[in-house]
C-alpha cells in the first residue's frame, strides 16, 4: 500500500493543497477506517479528481477546487448521496479486478444499470433504468486505475447524473479472500428532481449498493446469483 501512495507522490506537484489530498488518498487506498468518515465535508469527486495522475490526467483535475466549490454551492454537499459498502469475496484480487474492469460485465450484477459500452481505454457510456420505463445516460471516465487494486471513475462534466466513486480491492487477513470496497457519491444537480434520482439509485442507496456487491460476490464465488424469481407458489 505504501508503494502505491509513493507512486502518487511522485506524479503530483507538491502544493499544500495536494499534499492534504494525497494524504487522504493514501488513507483511502491503504486505510482500514471508513472512507466517508475521513472525508467529512469534502466532496469525494474533488479528492478523486485532485489526485488523478499517473498518465490518467483528467480534465477536472486542475479545476477540482472550483468544481468542488460549485457542487457545494449549487447543492450543498449534504444533498449528495454518499454510500460506502464493503464485501469480502473468496477470490483473488486479480480475478475480481479483471471482471469488474470490463465494465460491460457490470449489468450482470447491477440491477439498475441497463448497459455499459466501453468507448476506449478511459471512457465508457452508461445507460441506467429510470422510473416509468425511462432511461438515463451519461459518459464516465476512469480517473485512476491501479491494476488489481483500484478503479476510480467520474462522470464527465454535464452528465445528467453527476457521479463519482471508486472500487478498491485489498487482501483480507489470513485466508479470508479479498475485501471489495465501493465508495460512491451522486450529486443531485440543481433543478433535477431529487425523487427521480432516489428512485434511480433506490430509496435506500446503501441497500442497493449492498445488494449489488452481494450479487457480485455470489456470481464470483458460486457462478450464479441466488434467486427465487419464478419459483412455484400458491396463487
Residues that bind another protein in the complex, under the rule CB under 8 A: 32-34, 37, 84-88, 90, 172-177, 179-181, 207, 210-211, 213-214, 217-218, 221-235
Q: How far is the CB of 206 from another protein (least distance, A)?
A: 9
Q: How far is the CB of 207 from another protein (least distance, A)?
A: 5
- CA–CA separation, 165 and 7 (whole Å): 20
Q: How far is the CB of 179 from another protein (least distance, A)?
A: 3
- CA–CA separation, 92 and 124 (whole Å): 25
Cβ closest to another protein, residue 118 vs residue 172: 172
Q: How far is the CB of 233 from another protein (least distance, A)?
A: 5
* Contact present, 96 and 180 (Cβ < 8 Å): yes
CA 145 to chain centre: 12
Cβ closest to another protein, residue 15 vs residue 231: 231
Cβ closest to another protein, residue 121 vs residue 226: 226
Cβ closest to another protein, residue 86 vs residue 160: 86
Cβ closest to another protein, residue 10 vs residue 174: 174
Q: How far is the CB of 177 from another protein (least distance, A)?
A: 7
Amino acid at each position: 500500500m505504501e508503494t502505491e501512495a509513493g507512486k502518487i507522490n511522485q506524479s503530483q506537484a507538491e502544493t499544500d493543497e495536494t499534499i492534504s489530498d494525497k494524504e487522504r488518498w493514501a488513507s483511502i487506498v491503504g486505510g482500514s477506517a471508513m472512507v466517508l468518515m475521513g472525508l467529512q465535508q469534502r466532496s469525494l469527486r474533488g479528492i478523486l479528481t485532485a489526485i488523478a495522475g499517473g498518465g490518467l490526467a483528467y480534465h477536472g483535475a486542475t479545476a477540482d477546487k472550483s468544481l468542488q466549490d460549485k457542487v457545494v454551492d449549487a447543492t450543498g454537499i449534504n444533498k449528495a448521496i454518499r454510500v460506502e459498502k464493503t464485501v469480502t469475496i473468496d477470490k483473488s484480487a486479480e480475478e475480481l479486478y479483471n471482471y469488474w474492469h470490463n465494465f460491460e460485465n457490470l449489468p450482470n450484477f447491477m440491477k439498475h444499470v441497463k448497459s455499459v459500452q466501453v468507448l476506449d481505454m478511459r471512457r465508457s457510456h452508461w445507460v441506467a433504468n429510470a422510473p416509468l420505463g425511462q432511461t438515463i445516460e451519461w459518459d464516465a471516465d476512469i480517473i485512476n486505475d491501479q491494476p488489481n487494486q483500484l478503479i476510480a471513475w467520474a462522470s464527465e462534466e454535464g452528465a445528467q447524473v453527476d457521479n463519482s466513486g471508486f472500487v478498491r480491492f485489498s487482501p483480507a487477513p489470513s485466508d479470508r479472500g479479498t475485501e471489495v470496497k465501493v465508495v460512491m457519491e451522486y450529486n443531485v444537480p440543481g433543478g433535477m428532481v431529487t425523487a427521480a434520482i432516489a428512485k434511480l439509485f433506490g430509496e435506500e442507496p446503501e441497500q442497493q449498493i449492498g445488494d449489488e456487491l452481494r450479487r457480485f460476490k455470489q456470481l464470483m464465488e458460486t457462478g450464479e446469483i441466488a434467486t427465487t424469481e419464478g419459483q412455484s407458489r400458491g396463487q
